[in-house]
Structure 1
Amino acid sequence: MDWDDLRIFLAVARGESLSAAGRVLKLDPATVGRRISKLEEATGAPLFARSPQGYGLTDAGARLLVHAEDAEQAVTRGTEALAGTTGGLSGQVRIGAPDGCANFLLPRVCAHIAREHPEIELQIVALPRIINLSKREADLAIAVSPPTTGRLTVQKITDYTLHLAATEEYLASHPPIEGPEDLRAHPVVGYIPDMIFDKELDYLSEIGADKVTLGSNSVSVQLGFLREGGGIGIAHDFALPFAPNLRKVLADRISLTRTFYLVRHAGDARIERMSRVAEMVLGGLKAEVARLEALT
């Protein structure tokens, strides 16, 4: 079994279809299918269960996946070792993050890393859901809940705070808010309830708000609703400097604390480039949250 066979196997396992794997590998799907069939003949076991929904790993395929990922990491480490170390970083690193972090924190952090290391290629994937590292949707992921399964390493980055916020104009033209019970008389901005992908994002149920008048699965859109005077809602403190017309409401009564975690593949800790980028992202995010929260 050679690395090229494993490379094709990994692409199908992650893409769950021949066409998705073909796009990654720049091969015709029929060629990918022939290579998978040949690999299954060589191993003497079916590696995928074929269905109209795609290619799912069998038990044998799941066992091979662990070793294929180890081989992938070994190839990467070997490539970097042969390239030598010059102090600068190069290559592509994809960072997955919830859109609040992706929009308000990561751009400054990544821009700083890119200035220090001009050969690096940094990509930010902003998705309103949990990033799937096992399918290599990203090399690093920022999460608001630490994952409990998978061959992953998890590091706490930093805590961050959130408060109710609204515009001065909105507050001046609507009934006064003296306590959480007064929120019932106001339009509330927040997540679409059935699209909350992590329990840590269910802010409104925590403060007793039972109806979302203006909803979105995007933090950036929610902030836009608030900036336009659409109502009152929970906002990240680190996002408030980007919306100077907002002010905190009931700050002494309602204050939420959440945590960012850095998640990556366990084997990537042995790859120098990935470890150095992870260290810079972790330190940069911690400093950026502190900087922006100090402005509010």
Structure 2
Amino acid sequence: MADFNWNDLRFFLAVARAGTLTTAAQRLRADHTTVSRRISALEDALRVTLFERRPSGFTLTPQGERLKQTAEVMESAALLAQGMVADGDLALAGAVRIGAPDGFGSCFLAPRIGSLCERHPELEVQLVAMPRVFSLSKREADIAISLSRPQEGRLYARKLTDYRLGLYGTAAYLDARPPIRSRADLRGQSFIGYIDDLIFAPELDYVETIGEVVPRIKSSSLVAQLKATQAGAGLCMLPAFIAGAEPDLVPVLPEELTITRSFWLIVHEDLRSLARISMTADYIADLVRREQALFLPPPAM
């Protein structure tokens, strides 16, 4: 135990959460040989095997599971200490990773995040805009934008906003087909939507809102769906904060085909007190509040 290096626990937690040396090394900004060496050193010092090495990755042993619980408590204490004693300049430096659905991340947040970096030159913002759920307990992100409020875990959540979705198509697509005056007129139309088995949140499964339709073009990416719609490939359910900024898109049956969903901002309790995290979260919330009309525009007449 005399040779035990507390810093090796950072490497241990990264591998435990990532499941592979390569992914853990990327998150730690180290090379995988260094990560492997630090894990071996920790095992030698503790005289236990912490991981089962398999071709598919690293799996915790029972001893590793027990150490992970203790290591996470130590990590929480270290983060709390950092938040308590760091001065202002240090607190607003470093990286903040934001995990967000691709529509919100790419179309709303990305064009507006630059001013945050201008205010704080030492802050590095990592925007991961992907159609997936981010695990804050595995430190896949510091801040996550979700479509629902988490029901478990040591997570702090606040509602950002409700947002409205509607059916859209291009004027050229609509002009080339019979007028759509009711839901019955949607039969025979081309639709664009999500790939059924890749829908990462139940809130995105809204085909039934339209009716008995089967999308002919499917994508896991909302941005890809948007681009296909703009190319005239069909009709698509799109958020108003995205479609409303595209002059080539026209709402279809806006009084009948409208649904409402929500965005939640989620932070792990261990990170909530860090100034760079809380400041970035407040910045995002303020952006959404000031541009509320984008998310909930007045009903189309």
TM-score by length of 2: 0.87
Identify, as 1 or 2, the structure richer in helix. 1
Alpha-carbon distance, 1:136 to partner: 2.2
Equivalence for 2:216: 213
1:89 aligned partner: 92
Q: Is the 8 A contact 1:241 1:292 kept in 2?
A: no
Pick the aligned partner of 1:130 from 127, 130, 133. 133
Equivalence for 1:195: 198
Give SS of 1:95's match: strand
Structure 2 residue 270 is the aligned partner of structure 1 residue 267 = yes
Please name the residue that 1:184 is paired with: 187
User: Shift of the alpha carbon at 1:267?
Assistant: 1.0
CA distance in structure 2 between the partners assigned to 1:50 and 1:74 by the alignment: 29
After the TM superposition, which of the residue ranges 154-163 and 43-52 deviates more from structure 2? 43-52
Does the C-alpha gap of structure 1 residues 29 and 112 become closer, same or farther in structure 2, counting only changes over 3 Å?
closer
Worse overlay, 167-176 or 85-94: 85-94
For 2:9, the equivalent position in structure 1 comes to 6
2:39 corresponds to which of 27, 36, 41: 36
Moved more, 104-113 or 86-95: 86-95
Query: Which amino acid in 2 is paired with 1:141?
Result: A
- Identical counterparts, % of pairs: 41
Write the distance in 2 (CA, Å) between the matches of 1:254 and 1:26. Answer: 47
1:267 is paired with a residue of what secondary structure?
coil
- Aligned position for 1:250: 253
C-alpha distance 268-56 of structure 1, shift in aligned 2 (>3 A) = same
CA distance in 2, matches of 1:24, 1:150: 22
Aligned partner of 1:267: which letter?
D
1:158 maps to a residue whose letter is T
Map of 1:213-252 to 2, 5 A cutoff? 213-252=216-255
Deviation of the 1:88 alpha carbon: 7.9
Q: 1:277 aligns with which of 268, 277, 280?
A: 280
Is contact 2:97–2:127 with CA below 8 Å preserved after alignment?
Answer: yes
TM-score between the two structures when normalised by the length of structure 1: 0.88
Aligned to 2:114: 111
Distance in 2 between the 1:27 and 1:91 partners? Answer: 16
Moved more, 84-93 or 13-22: 84-93
Q: Distance in 1 between matches of 2:295 and 2:265?
A: 19
Which of 4, 11, 18 is matched with 1:15 structurally?
Answer: 18
Runs of 4+ in 1 over 6 A off after TM superposition: none
Once the two structures are TM-superposed, the CA of residue 9 in structure 1 deviates from its matched residue by 0.5
* Distance change >3 Å, CA 14–CA 230, structure 1 → 2: same
Moved more, 145-154 or 196-205: 145-154
Secondary structure at the counterpart of residue 270 of structure 2:
helix
Q: Say what the alpha-carbon RMSD is for the aligned residues.
A: 2.6
- Structure-2 change in CA distance of 1:69 and 1:200 (3 Å): same
Offset at residue 87 of structure 1 (A): 9.9
The 8 Å contact of residues 159 and 257 in structure 1, kept in 2 or not, is answered as yes
Pairing partner for 1:162 from 162, 165, 175: 165
CA displacement, residues 29-65 of structure 1 (integer Å, 9 cap, x when unaligned): 4553343244335445543233221112234433433
Equivalent-residue separation in structure 1 for 2:82 and 2:37 (angstroms): 28
Cα offset, 1:156, TM superposition: 1.3
Q: Which consecutive unaligned segments of at least 5 residues does structure 2 have?
A: none
Is the alpha carbon distance of 1:154 and 1:59 closer, same or farther for their aligned partners in structure 2, counting shifts above 3 Å? farther
**Separation in 2, partners of 1:160, 1:90:** 32
| SS of the residue 1:185 aligns to | coil
Structure 1 unaligned residues grouped into runs of 5+: none
Residue type of the alignment partner of 1:97: A
1:28–1:278 distance in 2 versus 1, CA, 3 Å: closer
1-structure distance, mates of 2:291, 2:70? 38
The equivalent residue for 2:124 is 121
The Cα shift of 1:20 comes to: 3.1
Q: How many residues were matched structurally?
A: 296
User: What does residue 62 of structure 1 align with?
Assistant: 65
- Among candidates 156, 172, 176, match of residue 153 of structure 1: 156
Tell me by how many angstroms 1:238 deviates: 0.1
